[in-house]
Every structure is written in C-alpha cells, then in structure tokens.
A and B are shown apart, each in its own frame.
Chain A
Amino acid sequence: MHISEGVLSGPVLVSGIVLAAVGVAVGLKKLDYDRIPRAAILSASFFVASLIHVPVGPSSVHLILNGIVGLILGWGAFPVILVALTLQAMLFQFGGITTLGVNTMIMALPAVFCYYLFGRLVGRQPRIALPAAFVCGALSVFLGAVMVGLALTFTDENFLKVSYLVVTAHLPVMIIEGIITAFCVAFLKKVQPDMLRE
C-alpha cells in the first residue's frame, strides 16, 4: 500500500505528514520502555512482511500485517510503522520519502482503529478471540485500502473507483492476514497471554 513519489499533490502530502506526526507523538507517549522490545520485533516483522508477495489477483500485492501490529501495540503502531516504512523506502525504494507521512497514515490509522475495536475482544476466550482476530487482520487491510482511495481522491482519481480497485486487489491479502492474525493471537494466548491485555 505504498503510494509512490510524485503522485500526490502538495496539500495531501503535508496533511499526511502533520497527521502522522501527531500519531507518532501520541504513540511514543503511550509506548513505555517495557514495551519497546515488543515494538521492535513487530517493526521488523512489518518491515519484512512487505517482501512476501501474494501471487493472487490482478495486481501485485504483499502482506502488510498492520492488524497484528495495532492489536498488540495500539497507538504504538504509529512510530513502529513509520520506522519500518522509512527503512522500506530507503532500502527497497518502496513508496518514497515525501510520501512517508501519507503512507504511515494509510497503514497505522486502521491499526489503531482495530485496536479499539478488537483489543478487548482478543483477551477473551478463544471462541470470541479467534474470530475477532481474523476480522481484525482483514479489516485493517480493508481500511488501509480505503485510505489509499481517500488519499488519491484529492489528486484526480475517483474515490469509489480507486477504492474498489485497491480493495479487490487486496481481497486475498485480507483473507491471508486474517488467518495470520488469528494464528498469532492463538499462539500468544498460549505462550504470552498478558501480551494481549494492556
């Protein structure tokens, strides 16, 4: 979901940077020192996940993993995703430096949103937690795709048309991420149940 350099207009880029900066500030404030190792691991996972291509569908898509990042870190998803995106932009030339703000918003805002929706549910018994985790993984990708559509609306592409394209391209990813998130939650419930209750 990386928007390339030179696509978006100036005002969209600037508002992306401002909003992302606010998110990162809130995230850093909420991220206490004890949770930093957790954040680093998730940042590394997010960084590498973009290399896993899903060869289904019309476009070329990859894993995002913003759902699980949001679920475990809440607002901490903002700094974590910003760091990973910066490294992706520098090392892989994914997205771009000027679009970092917008791209951070695209992926981190759904993560935080899903944290508020599902953060409590995944702490409950598996009958509720696992479906919630699946929906969380899928919904965060879906919302990211809608965010892409929103960002591109302000240039000249039609919101509904672009969102439809991005969402359909990401349907396989949504399902895969839902399954991955459910597996992660099931695993964490066994091994580190306190990680899901913050």
Chain B
Amino acid sequence: MAHRVTIFAWVEGDKVFTESKFSGGKRVKQGDVIVYDSEGNQLLEGKTDDKGEFSFGVPKKTSLKIVLIAGMGHRGEWTIPVSELEDVAGPQTKITPSQKAVRKKTGKQPEISHLSSNEIRLTVEEAIDKRLKPVMKILVELRENRPTFRDIFGGIGYILGLLGVAAYFNYRRKSAEIDGKKTD
C-alpha cells in the first residue's frame, strides 16, 4: 500500500476534472470520489476510471471539497474555491468588463459584430480551455511533488542529529562517572 494519495481537480468550462494518483505515480483505479459543498453536504459521488480520472458537471455554485477515498486507509482531498467557478453558471446576462471591451471593439469594426458578445465569450472560453489543457496536464504532473533528494538527505540528517544528541548525553554521563570516581 502506498502511503499517500493525491487528488487534483480543475475546472474546464462547466465541468470539473479530477486526477488521482498514489505517490510513486500509480493511478488510483476505482477509487471513490465524493464531492461536498462548503457546508459539508454531499453533492455527488463517483468512481475513478482506470486512468485515475473522474469528471463531473458543476453541480452548484459553491466552493467544492473533493475527497478521494482510495481504500485501505488512503484519503486525499482538494478544494476548488468558488472564485474558480465564477464563469460557470451558464450564459450570463450581466456584462463583464471583458464583454464591454469586446463591445467597444466590435463597435469600431462592424464587419465582425454579427456575433453576440455572449457567443464571442463562449467561443473564447472554449478556445482558452482547449489551449490550457496541456498546461493543466503539466500542472498535474508538477503537483505530484515526489520526495526530493533534499527531503531524503534531510531526513537522514535529522536521524544523525538525534544520534548526536544521544551520543552527547552518553558522553556527559560517562565523564560524570569518571569525575565521580576521581573525587572518591
């Protein structure tokens, strides 16, 4: 059994994608994924596929706590803050600053103004999501943070330090014994 599982989740359009791994890089197959809202109510649950992936549509506009239960005492979690879900709740009617900018531009160039600002927004979002996909993959890889040599040698250093402390007390004890004998 591994010792650590990680789940990483990101929002793409109106879906949330998750990827789950054991430390060491093995994917979590058939792990239970449970999604909670900010108040701790369970929203939905599912299982990871053979690639350790699980995706679901955004159920509610709240911060999502995604918990992975990989069995045999393994648990990992990831929280998506509500700010990342801001643009998700379907086509919006309010005009965001970017839409205003688009409007100004389209005013100057009437030949491309057939598209509604909402359509432009959706198209742009789609294109960005598509472009960002490889970047998200790289982020997932980076998030794995396997133990580095610094961690390993740091740990060994701590153990040697403890050995040093013990040796110091041993030395104190021995020299105290010798001193005791001298004064006798």
Contacts and interface: CB of A to CB of B under 8 A. Distances in A.
Q: Do A and B bind each other?
A: yes
Interface of A: 1-8, 33, 36-37, 40, 43-44, 47-48, 50-51, 53, 58-62, 83-84, 87-88, 91-95, 148, 151-152, 157, 162, 165-166, 169-170
Contacts of A44: 155-156, 159-160
Contact of A83 (B26, B154, B159, B173): B159
A91 B167 CA distance: 25
B73 interface: yes
A7 B74 contact: yes
Interface in B137-184: 147, 151-152, 154-156, 158-160, 162-163, 166-167, 169-170, 173
Contact of A91 (B1, B23, B73, B151): B151
B46 interface: no
Interface in B95-148: 147
Contacts of B173: 33
Contacts of B76: 4
Contact of B1 (A8, A47, A93, A148): A148
Contacts of A61: 1-2
A166 B72 CA distance: 7
17 contacts: A1-B1, A2-B3, A3-B73, A33-B166, A36-B163, A36-B166, A37-B163, A47-B156, A50-B3, A51-B152, A60-B1, A62-B3, A62-B24, A83-B158, A83-B162, A84-B159, A170-B1
Interface residues of B, number: 34
Given A1-B1, A40-B160, A59 B151 contact: no
Contact of A40 (B22, B151, B162): B162
Given A48-B152, A51-B152, A170-B1, A36 B73 contact: no
A91 B162 contact: no
Main secondary structure of the interface of B (DSSP, over half): mixed
A92 B3 contact: yes
Contacts of A62: 2-3, 24
Given A37-B163, A44-B155, A62-B24, 6 more contacts: A36-B163, A36-B166, A36-B170, A43-B159, A91-B152, A92-B23
Contacts of B22: 59-60
Interface in B46-98: 69, 71-77
Nearest to B74: A4
A103 to B, nearest CB: 9
Contacts of B156: 44, 47-48
Nearest to A31: B166
Contacts of A91: 147, 151-152, 154-155
B9 interface: no
Contact of A4 (B26, B29, B73, B158): B73
Nearest to B173: A33
B162 A88 contact: no
A28 B167 CA distance: 14
Nearest to A80: B159
A123 to B, nearest CB: 26
Counting chain A CB atoms within 10 Å of each CB, the highest count among B2, B72, B147, B160 belongs to B72
B155 A93 contact: no
A58 B71 CA distance: 12
A37 B163 CA distance: 6
A77 B18 CA distance: 39
A121 to B, nearest CB: 29
A64 B132 CA distance: 40
